[in-house]
Structure 1
Amino acid sequence: MLPPRAYFFIGLNGVRILSIIAMLLVFASGIFVLVSDIQAVNRSMKAPDTDMTDCDYIEGSTVPNQPAGVFWAVVNRLFIIFQVVVLILSEIGWPAAFFDRFFPVLGPTFGLGALGIFQCLIGATVLSHHVDDFTLVAAFFLFALGCLNMLLGLVFREKAKEKRSIMSWRAEAKGVLPSHRDMRPTFARPASASFVNSMFKGGNDRAQPEEFGQKGHGFGRQGEKAAGLKGFLISKPLESLPRYAPPPPRSDSSRAGTPEPTFKSSATAI
């Protein structure tokens, strides 16, 4: 049985693939509608006898019959195509640095809510005109996936793209697998050959003082003297009885601890 993060990874990437397919369909339908509109405008211009006064749109197109209607219709389609291309690149994740700097809401550190809003806006813009069946289906598909992405953005928030990222999946997989650690002690390589040579000296050879540091003074009188010169005072600890021992007997006489004299004073002494 797969762990829960595996189901999240598969599900989010499935929605990701469907989003890319829907945007590719809208991209293709946008180009198709743009070409159809231009052809319809050319046909209307070649037939000057046709009365277009009571028509809101040029026949067989999505171009409104108003001043500069052709210009705004073409600009609208070009903007839709440009937005779809940007959204496809954001879903692919390339270039990530560009989106992090110029479009943070479409970058890897943001959720899927903004992506879903853009998809719904594009779908609603296309569906607001009378279009052919292919464009109609592509726009409906994109609008539905936009609603799904907004829902996923509310559920997973900013971690949605992290959970579906292949790099983060590999990093988590490395953390789950047990790692082998060498428990053998590590030894530092000697800095020079003199240390190795000193280990194989004869019994009559004495080690140099600089090999093992400064000579110590021990724990005797020399050590106490050296500690006193450095400002350390070594005192004898106070003698004390443990807490559970009975206290020594005490006498009320001030001379209790003084031994009795063994001599007698003379009667003629001054």
Structure 2
Amino acid sequence: MGLNAVRVLSLISLILVFSSTILVMVTNIKAVNSFEANRGGDNTTMVDCDYIAGSTVPNQPAGVFWAVVASLLIIFQTIILFLSECSWPMTFFDRFFPVLGTKFGLGPLGIFQCLISTQILSHHVDDFTLVSAFFLFALGCLNMLLGLIFRESAKPKRSITSWRAEAKGILPTTSDQRPVFVNATPIVSSVFSQEKGQQVHVSHETVTDAHSFRSTEKAGYGFGRQGEKAAGLRGFILQKPEESLPRYASPPPPRAATVSRSPSSVSSSSSFYADERPPSMPVPHAAETHAAAPAFRSSPTSI
């Protein structure tokens, strides 16, 4: 709230300087017109003076031009500083004028305000312009002091839009930039604590091992077994990705089909089976003939 109060005062001082500069420019033009009108007269005192009477215009070649340009530059600078204090359009300042953007504090703003006020106070001006320039110089010094105190965090702290965004946001604005290691202290405590409120005692040897792994002698273990052990002693575990096939992987090929042949009865009239018994021997039974008959197997070339 204090930073916003200083910003309001800074806006008021810029408005006063803007209006007083316009008043000074109008006064200078009127004084120059009066000077040019009295140039051909007998009054030679006004011709030999360093400044035109009643103005801040120097009596020299192109003095009127540079006086008007100086007033226009002050007006332009006050407009730029006013927009910077209003934080609009901040994307323009972040890209084309970073010192007045969000990544810088209030120090550059105070420097610009002091430069404008000293430029005005270095001339003889009326009371309204004098008070406005003094007010702007005081605010410039205060902004430089606040810039030294808060540095680049001053503008985000006084930004009303950032307050509204944080109030409406559901998820936290900060992001975890840590690597794939996660804190395993709650998991270890839940595993080793059997009852609620039970404390987990760590032996002196475990602490000694953890400190030993921090030494430079064992810093080259990397992600091996010793590295995982050191990470576990410090309270971290390594998340392993789930095993899965890529989307473009083809399905596994089907198993080769086996060719089977149904059992068939052996015919006695087949050319592969010849009855070479003498006529006197009895004909065996059909079951015995089937058991004793040789099995027929087809060769791979026939398939």
TM-score range, shorter chain: 0.5 to 0.7
* Corresponding position of 2:106: 112
* Corresponding position of 2:26: 35
1:77-123: per-residue Cα shift (whole Å, max 9, x none)? 00000000000001001111111111000112210000000000000
1: CA distance between counterparts of 2:147 and 2:95? 21
1: CA distance between counterparts of 2:58 and 2:139? 29
| Cα shift at 1:168 | 1.9
2: CA distance between counterparts of 1:83 and 1:11? 25
Match of 1:133 among 116, 127, 130: 127
| Structure 1 letter corresponding to 2:35 | S
1:240-261: per-residue Cα shift (whole Å, max 9, x none)? xxxxxxxxxxxxxxxxxxxxxx
* Corresponding position of 1:6: none
Determine helix, strand or coil for the equivalent of 2:125.
Answer: coil
- Report whether the alignment pairs 1:103 with 2:97: yes
* Corresponding position of 1:45: 36
2: CA distance between counterparts of 1:150 and 1:175? 33
2: CA distance between counterparts of 1:67 and 1:174? 61
Match of 1:79 among 58, 73, 78: 73
Match of 1:16 among 7, 22, 26: 7
2: CA distance between counterparts of 1:176 and 1:156? 28
Identity between Structure 1 and Structure 2 (%)? 71
2: CA distance between counterparts of 1:74 and 1:171? 44
Match of 2:136 among 136, 142, 149: 142
1: CA distance between counterparts of 2:161 and 2:77? 26
* Corresponding position of 2:49: 55
1: CA distance between counterparts of 2:98 and 2:82? 15
| Cα shift at 1:167 | 1.9
Relative to the length of structure 1, the TM-score reads: 0.60
Determine helix, strand or coil for the equivalent of 2:150.
Answer: helix
| Cα shift at 1:175 | 7.2
The root-mean-square deviation of aligned C-alpha atoms, in Å, is: 1.8
- Report whether the alignment pairs 1:26 with 2:17: yes
Determine helix, strand or coil for the equivalent of 2:93.
Answer: helix
Unaligned 5+ residue runs, structure 2? 172-303
1:112-142: per-residue Cα shift (whole Å, max 9, x none)? 0000000000000000000000000000000
Where do 4+ consecutive residues of structure 1 move more than 2 Å? 170-177
| Cα shift at 1:53 | 3.9
2: CA distance between counterparts of 1:154 and 1:172? 26
Determine helix, strand or coil for the equivalent of 1:90.
Answer: helix
Relative to the length of structure 2, the TM-score reads: 0.54
| Cα shift at 1:171 | 3.8
1:149-206: per-residue Cα shift (whole Å, max 9, x none)? 00000000000000000122234445799xxxxxxxxxxxxxxxxxxxxxxxxxxxxx
| Structure of higher RCO (CA pairs closer than 8 Å, 6+ residues apart) | 1
| Cα shift at 1:37 | 0.1
Report the number of matched residues: 169
- Report whether the alignment pairs 1:162 with 2:153: no
